[in-house]
Structure 1
Amino acid sequence: MIRIADIREWRDHDVVDQDGKKIGVLESVYVDTASDEPWFVTVTIGLPTRRRLAFAPLTDAVVGPGYVRLAHSRALVKDAPSIDTDGVLAAEEEPVVFAHYEMEYVPGAGGERRLARR
């Protein structure tokens, strides 16, 4: 997994799919609240007047010079759950993000949320 210190350096760099097609720009990193490991990123996508932040997992992501390559297609990320550029992911929406990528969602032992923005 990519270390949080490393991925923060890539904010505002291109995010590309597994074929190298640009998806958007990396906006922020979300970590797993149980392990503090980077788990998801938000990618700025859309037209300049209608931008939004789409969620994408960092599973099997690769960092290169000036980009982060995800293991998912551009279409899948663009169709992912998203928030406004100044929005916040509500705790009750987290399972939807995981389900979009066919990932199991398990809340924390005390029922707490799994993702925290860093």
Structure 2
Amino acid sequence: MITSADIREWRNHDVVDPKGHKIGVLEAVYVDTSTDEPAMATVLTGLPTRRRLVFVPLGEAVLGPHYVKVAHPKGLVRQCPSIGTDDVLPAEREEGIFQHYGMEYRQGAEGERQLARR
């Protein structure tokens, strides 16, 4: 299992898909608020004049020398809902990210968000 401490060391390293195709650069880690374990990462993608952050699950991620390999293909990740490089994820858009990957979205008992940036 990848822990919060482990994945923080990989910021600014390449994120690749299962076939080794570069998706972008790891920008931040989001943890599941119920477990405090890494759940998603934001990946910086796009051209220098049109950069954005896309979300990708870290559930089956593998750490390698200077890269993080995720379980989802590059095309699927790049189609994920995104935010601007200086933006924060609005609460109302969080569920859409989980739906994009076919994952269950679970709010807290009192409506808390499932993801928190670390």
Q: Fold match, TM over 0.5?
A: yes
Sequence identity (%): 65
Q: Residue by residue, what CA displacement relative to the aligned partner does 1:15-44 show, whole Å, maximum 9, x if unpaired? A: 000000000000000000111000000000
Q: Cα offset for 1:59?
A: 1.2
Within a 5 Å distance, the mapping from 1:29-108 to structure 2 comes to: 29-108=29-108
Gaps of at least 5 residues in structure 1 are: none
**Aligned counterparts of 2:6 and 2:108: Cα–Cα separation in 1:** 25
Within a 5 Å distance, the mapping from 1:102-117 to structure 2 comes to: 102-117=102-117
Taking structure 1 as the reference length, the TM-score comes to 0.99
Aligned residue pair count: 118
Q: Cα offset for 1:94?
A: 0.7
Gaps of at least 5 residues in structure 2 are: none
**Aligned counterparts of 1:94 and 1:85: Cα–Cα separation in 2:** 16
Taking structure 2 as the reference length, the TM-score comes to 0.99
**Aligned counterparts of 1:38 and 1:104: Cα–Cα separation in 2:** 16
Q: Which stretches of structure 1, 4 residues or longer, exceed 3 Å deviation after superposition? A: none
**Aligned counterparts of 2:81 and 2:56: Cα–Cα separation in 1:** 9
**Aligned counterparts of 1:81 and 1:117: Cα–Cα separation in 2:** 17
Q: What is the root-mean-square deviation in Å for CA atoms of aligned residues?
A: 0.5
